[in-house]
Amino acid sequence: FERRKLTITATGEGIRATAIGASQFTVQLSGNTIFLSDQVILPMHNMAVVCPRIPDVLTRESVALGITSALNRLDLEDLESPVCVYLPWQGDAEYTALLALAAGVKDAIHDRLAVNNLPLVLALDVDLGAALGRILCDELGFDLPLISIDGVELRELDFIDIGEPLEPTRVLPVMVKSLAFPTTVF
């Protein structure tokens, strides 16, 4: 505002906004192929879902750029609370592709999370959560709390909660909160 020499004037009224829409809740379970680092504290609530646009051919750079662009698009450059990075998977689970994905994730988000010692939450649609978590922690030295869940379907602008592991199977309940807007306005 200062740069454009605009004046901000306080009004006597409060701000009101109306949205025609509804929220929708779904519960999904993420199971045997998840990864939880030792430092993870569950449950976690109200994490924004970030959906990076990543090309089919994965490179470390393209993954990092996709995640950075998605965070910027949602105005999440400075992370003050955990977010969930949703990574839908295309193709076979080849080690080189998983390594590129993990390295790009670390490059894009580790330092942003480290400022406030926030955990990294990853979500995949296929059963690669444990593999991705192991590569990040064991091979790339990711040193922040990490949750890597799989078998979930998410969209940008969703929010998720992750509950404590359910015994004896150790599956995690995942609550997905979505906004549903009508296609026609009355």
Q: How far apart are CA 132 and CA 129, in angstroms?
A: 5
Could you say which DSSP state residue 165 is in?
A: P
What are the two backbone dihedrals, phi and then psi, of residue 23, each rounded to the nearest 5 degrees? -100, 155
pTM to 2 decimal places: 0.80
165 vs 161: CA distance, rounded Å: 12
- Give me the mean pLDDT over the 92-107 stretch: 94
Report DSSP letters for 64-122, one per residue: HHHHHHHHHHTT-SS-SS-EEEEE---S---HHHHHHHHHHHHHHHHHHHHTTTPPEEE
Q: Which residues partner with 178 through β-bridges? A: 24
Tens of pLDDT, residues 129-177 = 999 999 999 999 999 999 999 999 999 889 999 998 888 887 888 999 9
> What are the pLDDT digits (tens) for 61-86?
999 999 999 999 999 888 999 999 99
DSSP lists the bridge partners of residue 147 as 36, 121
Collapsing DSSP states into helix, strand and coil, what is residue 139? helix
